Amino acid sequence: MNLKDIHNVYFIGIGGIGMSALARYFKFIDKNVAGYDKTKTPLIEELMELGIDIHFEDNTSLISEVYKNSEHTLVVYTPAVPRSHSELQYYVNAGFQVKKRSEVLGIITRDTFCFAVAGTHGKTTTSSILAHLLKETQTPLIAFLGGISEDFNSNFVLEGTEYSVVEADEYDRSFLQLSPDVACITSMDADHLDIYGSDEEIKKSFREFAQKIKPNGKLLVRNGLPIQGITYGLDDASDYCITNIVIEHGTYIFDLKTPEETLKNVRFSKPGKHNLLNGLAAFAMAAQAISQPRRLAEALASFKGVQRRFSYQIKEGDFVFIDDYAHHPTEIDAVHQAVSEMHPNKKVTVVFQPHLYSRTQDFIEGFAASLSKFDTVLLLDIYPAREEPIAGVTSTWLLEKIDNSNKKLIEKSDLLSAIISSKPDVLVTMGAGDIGLEVSKLKKELAYAS
């Protein structure tokens, strides 16, 4: 497919974080862009403000005629859209060029120097840090991010087209569409078992991804993963290693060892050892192409963060409110570690919204163990996303398994009162569903209440 021959791009599921970044890209290169999604969100409203026509009913009659020209129209869809979707069926049956988001990303980045961040955790933060480091070194880049970068205030960055930064998503084996020059694997934990079936299958897929790297390309891997590459880690014998870590006023200060030198007194302010590893991975990736190690290290200090990735909403002397996208037991453990390190001996209330029936079922014991570590647990119903309910898989089931006497299943309408009743020093909201839409309301009401 030659993008020069494409005049119109139609998105089915345009409001997804990855899809919306692609929509922004095509709008910026002066293509006609439109799409469908089932609900209006702040992200979709931003797309509409750019002049992108979006409707919210699965109805082919609502598609403008300009997007019914099969010769010059590309249709992009997300795997979250069911195959029975009538608009998707229309385009497939009419012989249009219909491609998954991952295929289009592969086409766009094919002729760039591509950085691809893979892993079951840490992709969005690592790729956002990497995009920030590249921009700070005046590197011409385009970036498609899985979250809203606070440095760019967007999930899409266009500072040139020579280099690209993408998230290599393992869901539906999407990352096998990419051909990176420099890739990173942050983690290979079991996840998406509805797709893979077993832990071994997901690890096999990551090994296949590693084979997609271009000749003479580089693979960075977190030390300890069962795959060969340039390693990075904390206080170990990795090729890239962070040592001598201290914390001053919520900021990490450390030494960063590279294969060539040790950079002293590097600063990074995103809490949690997992975020230190994300920052190190981004640095190590950038260092494979950008010969400015000291400038890259300095740029780590100015990274602001990603929305919903350990994002401070309120940080007063006697009350802290943090929001995070964590939706897997490993990620919940990482948030707990960060909270305990940055706010020791504080009473912590967590509000958690499980994401997907299948993930809840697959990791029920892990979720229970991870959530039990918090002082108080407020549990919302499971967010179904693309799934139908699974018999017996409910938040009530999860609640029963949590080993904590201070636990409660609540409705969103009771969220504020339940939080106030728990009297936390630190409040953490977590989940990958629509809990994120509650954050701004809670922030306003809790700031007023305090």
pLDDT, tens digit, 9 for 90 and up, residues 438-448: 999 999 988 86
Give the residue ranges of DSSP H helices in 165-292.
Answer: 193-196, 199-210, 273-287
The hierarchical CATH code for the domain 311-449 is 3.90.190.20
Task: Provide the 10 A C-beta neighbour count for residue 302.
Answer: 13
Taking a C-beta distance cutoff of 8 angstroms, is the pair 351, 415 a contact?
Answer: yes
CA distance 52 to 363: 39
Task: Provide the 10 A C-beta neighbour count for residue 422.
Answer: 19
Pick the CATH number of 3-100 from 1.10.150.20, 1.10.3720.10, 3.40.50.720, 2.70.98.60: 3.40.50.720
Encode pLDDT of 310-347 as tens digits: 999 999 878 999 999 999 999 999 999 999 999 999 99
Q: Superfamily for 110-300? A: Mur-like, catalytic domain (3.40.1190.10)
CATH 3.90.190.20 spans which residues of the chain? 311-449
Q: In which element (H, E) is residue 342 found?
A: helix 329-342
Dihedral angle of Cα 266, 271, 272, 277, to the nearest 10 degrees: -40
Taking a C-beta distance cutoff of 8 angstroms, is the pair 123, 190 a contact?
Answer: no
Task: Provide the 10 A C-beta neighbour count for residue 169.
Answer: 23
For residue 191, pLDDT beyond 90: no
CA-angle at 318, arms to 313 and 322, nearest 5°? 25
Encode pLDDT of 412-436 as tens digits: 999 999 999 999 999 999 999 999 8
CATH 3.40.50.720 spans which residues of the chain? 3-100
Percent of the chain with pLDDT over 90: 83
In the three-class reduction of DSSP (H, G, I as helix; E, B as strand; rest coil), residue 322 is classed as strand
CATH 3.40.1190.10 spans which residues of the chain? 110-300
**Quick one: average pLDDT of 280-302?**
97
Encode pLDDT of 386-422 as tens digits: 789 999 999 999 999 999 999 999 999 999 999 999 9
18 HSE (CA, 13 A, CB side): 23
Give the residue ranges of DSSP H helices in 343-394.
Answer: 357-362, 364-371
CA distance 335 to 339: 6
Which residue in 107, 101, 104 sits closest to 81, CA to CA?
A: 101
CA distance 94 to 159: 37
